[in-house]
Structure 1
């Protein structure tokens, strides 16, 4: 790191004044460990040494330089690194979008609770003596389509939030019209995973809450309608 300036009147030039981004570092008990004011980032091009550049060659990317300083000191330092991946992120970007992650081969049963009489259960066929797991699934004695089940398991084994509902907590929401519950094999630790979904007014998203997930998430309706929230008949083989 090099000192770019020690003069406070040049702070605006480097973006380490009131326009900069203040980063506060906290310890495990939320004790403040320090602060850093992050300013502008620029690309420093390497010198060509007077040699004529070949116009057919792609220009090399330079080195990102970020200017930083401690908020209580005038010295501004140049750091050979871009911090935009940190300073350009919103509060929502820092949230964990993964609702849960389970091994899809350990999912043994899925209960679909739908409105009216459309609820059903899908089960993985017990493995044979020569296979540790089975890819075959059935529902009420009918064999399910492998491609449809594969798409469903891909989504349900690691669902991710597409957005969040800021004004609501999971306990603020009532009963959901759609509920999906995953039962896992004994090798996969943890209780059944439950996902509850409620259509929003626009119809573009489902408002979702889930086991052990602290946020109210938004899930794109198109993705879930195509892969998961389908009638039982849509999962049947050759249909």
Structure 2
């Protein structure tokens, strides 16, 4: 479904990604594991069309998309739930969700998508007329996920969805990702909670200093001594 091959990205003179290769098959949850500064967000943003690679390929369903503007990538069926949520705080919940359906892909299924979001997150329905900036952190994350779903994506990249949330809310967010995957959504998960993300993942990649250093099933990486020592404190 998604192929990244020999991808290299620079921010000025600093190299963020160095020859990264990975693949995502339809229906999978792929976890990207790594320390802060390893290049995880740079990878997500490059796939999403927010950074232009210096070299390498990004192909979605066989179509080369590296360097495409982000609105074209999104309209193709690739969604992103950004780190830090990045909702529009002065707009209402309903207005934020409407923003997610602005592209042609979203407009075509707007009403159906909105009902799906409200079924999944009834709290958003209760607060649809409330300014998004007044929501709790967990509610804002629900809104960020809901806004992404309004574009009816086939693949969603989640960048640190549990960041800054209370443990109970973290479990709810990760359960939502699992349920979306069971409904057929393909997911790429960048998550600081390494143990949980590897348990959720079909397969996973370890990213260190802009390079893929390990890959395998979630269970294989959970059992790998290098992963256990570096990320699980075991």
Greater share of residues in strand: 1
* TM-score, structure 2 normalization: 0.22
Greater share of residues in helix: 2
Larger-Rg structure: 1
